[in-house]
């Protein structure tokens, strides 16, 4: 027998968390001022007229550099919880962290050899 009344708090939380953003958008749409003009419809609102075409090609190297940075930066954040619980878990934690750091170093060397870290 499945008792649904045990999940009343869960259902209330799901309903409230679903309705709250919808309510925020509705209130924002009703209260926010709408002032459309030539400045609002322009490409840039900084006061300077845009020069040239809006479609500019960027080199893929910039995206690769940013992607490699974000990946390794986020992965090194995982070292912080390990460092905080090092005294509790001991040698097994140290070996796991050491293997993780070796994988990070291997990935960095691979990205360096492929030229993903060279800016020019």
Domain ranges of the chain: 4-114
CATH, domain range 4-114: 1.20.58
**Beta-carbon contacts of residue 9 (< 8 Å; ≥ 6 apart):** none
What pLDDT is stored for residue 54 in this prediction? 66
What are the tens digits of pLDDT across the range 30-64? 998 887 777 676 666 566 666 777 677 777 777 87
- C-alpha–C-alpha distance, residues 120 and 109, integer Å: 18
Neighbour tally for 111: CB within 10 Å: 19
Q: pTM value?
A: 0.45
């Amino acid at each position: 027998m499945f008792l649904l009344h045990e999940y009343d708090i869960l259902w209330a939380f799901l309903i409230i968390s679903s309705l709250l953003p919808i309510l925020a958008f509705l209130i924002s749409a009703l209260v926010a001022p709408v002032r459309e003009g030539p400045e609002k419809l322009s490409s840039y609102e900084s006061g300077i007229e845009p020069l040239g075409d809006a479609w500019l090609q960027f080199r893929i190297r910039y995206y690769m550099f940013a992607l490699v940075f974000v990946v390794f930066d986020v992965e090194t954040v995982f070292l912080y919880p390990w460092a905080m619980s090092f005294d509790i878990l001991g040698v097994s934690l140290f070996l796991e962290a050491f293997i993780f750091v070796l994988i990070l170093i291997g990935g960095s060397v691979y990205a360096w050899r492929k030229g993903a870290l060279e800016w020019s």
